[in-house]
Amino acid sequence: MTARPLPAPRAGASPARVEALRTLCRVEEDRAFADLALEAAIERAKLSPRDRALTTELVYGTLRWQRRLDWILAPHSRRRLERLDPWVRNLLRLTVYQLQFLDKVPAWAAVNDAVSLAKRRAHGEAAPFVNAVLRSFTRGGGGLPLLPDDPVEAMATRLAFPSWLARRWAQQFGLDGAERLMTALDERPKATVRANLLKCSQAQLAQRLKEEEEVACSATTFAPEGLALESPGPAARFKVFKEGWFTLQDEASILVGHLLGPKPGETVADVCAAPGTKTTHLAALMQNSGKVVAMDPHAARLKLVSQSAARLGVKIVECHRGSAEALAPRFTDRFDRVLVDAPCSNLGVLRRNPDVKWRRALADLPRLALRQRQILDAAASMCRPGGVLVYATCSLEPEENEGVVLPFLDTHPEWRLEPPADFPIPLEPPAVLRCLPHRHGTDGFTAFRLQKSK
């Protein structure tokens, strides 16, 4: 089903809310990825910096708290929310998100704006309904309805997670651990960047950001070249970004490159390379000496690797189109180190991509694990005797991590888990990096460091 077009804004309509609503409808009806749909909407509408920020806040905030918003809306609607036109449902959600979580716009103004938007839809037929629901909500003082009796269901409702995922995490981490994990994933993440060590130090980048962009930043806790930015704005528009001094990358993701630990002069493969964030980090750790072979089956995404390498001044990346399985026979026993940044459920990065909560299902995990096993088998064949392989996912799910690596080790006795000589964060024995949002303040990542016998 394709989202119906939203009429062009009239004078006085909020461009930020118009584009936020358009984006939310695309995510729900077209299953568009929120980050891509949002970027396209912002660029098309040529929003001011202030409206860009508000549009982003409304889209991600509404998606992040979607289940909770539906819970507090339901008593005020005479119709079941799931039966509403998606446009109306998302208009109600984003308005209630604004009323509950933002405080810069008075309640009456937010309601009036929503009704104004509703009047432009289907000859204004939705306007009386939207007005009635929101007036009822505001008259009720925003009081909350009763939570489900089941403690996991109550937690999932209150913290806005799908029941199946909340139940899994309660079993995996305990009820308290699951609550702390979900609370961390509900937080707005700071923008974290990786200083490009080929062009600058961490301190030099921090100084330029402060002087030229008026952006304060602090060193990340674990990654030696990471910086956490305060109120960064559109960082990709900064002059220092365009000059290749940094790239956006979470601290956990940076640590994956350090776990592989490539050295200058080595030959390294990144078998799931696009868009190139980790690829270019490997090249920086190698001081632009040696070779990094970047592989990806999609030509358009592989082009992003080349573009990123060019911007950052990386000269040792060689791109090859194709899957790991297709390319493996060409590169048998060729690489000193291999990175498998496996395609996964992305359930560890929900604070950055909250729409993933609502597009994933339990049935996805075994399907993804099968693909991950195929990639790991192929990647391992490319590693020379004595070489190192890191298998990583931005997921905390056992099926995608231990469920892939341990069976591989059982059937490949020439491989073993082997820790690096030193590492900036304690590893789970013997050689597992597990970054947890509620413990480390990072995205959720899991990575295994394996070494092949000589």
- Domain locations along the chain: 15-139, 157-185, 191-248, 251-452
**Token pair listed for 56:** 């982003």
Report the alpha-carbon distance of residue 220 to residue 192 in Å, rounded.
8
Q: How high is the pLDDT of residue 122?
A: 60
- 3-class secondary-structure state, position 268: strand
Average pLDDT over residues 282-302: 97
Cα radius of gyration rounded to whole Å, the chain: 24
Q: State the catalytic residues.
A: 394
Average pLDDT over residues 387-403: 98
Quick: pLDDT tens for 345-360: 999 999 999 999 999 9
Report the alpha-carbon distance of residue 256 to residue 251 in Å, rounded.
9
Under a CB-based contact definition with an 8 Å cutoff, are residues 375 and 271 in contact? yes
For the domain made up of 251-452, give the CATH fold.
Rossmann fold (3.40.50)
**pTM of model > 0.85:** yes
Q: How high is the pLDDT of residue 1?
A: 33
Average pLDDT over residues 266-290: 98
Quick: pLDDT tens for 190-220: 899 999 999 999 999 999 999 999 999 999 9
**Token pair listed for 91:** 């208009």
Q: Which of the four pLDDT bands, split at 50, 70 and 90, describes residue 234?
A: confident
Quick: pLDDT tens for 358-384: 999 999 999 999 999 999 999 999 999
Residue 156, C-beta contacts closer than 8 angstroms, at least 6 positions apart:
67, 162, 163, 165, 166, 167
Choosing among 3.20.20.80, 1.10.940.10, 3.10.620.30, 3.40.50.720, the CATH entry for 15-139 is 1.10.940.10
Closest C-alpha to 155, from 124, 176, 139: 176
Average pLDDT over residues 103-131: 85
- What DSSP string describes 139-167? HTTT---PPPSSHHHHHHHHHT--HHHHH
Residue 141 has pLDDT above 90, yes or no: no
Residue 128 has pLDDT above 50, yes or no: yes
For the domain made up of 191-248, give the CATH fold.
Alpha-Beta Plaits (3.30.70)
Q: Which of the four pLDDT bands, split at 50, 70 and 90, describes residue 260?
A: very high
Report the alpha-carbon distance of residue 357 to residue 87 in Å, rounded.
20
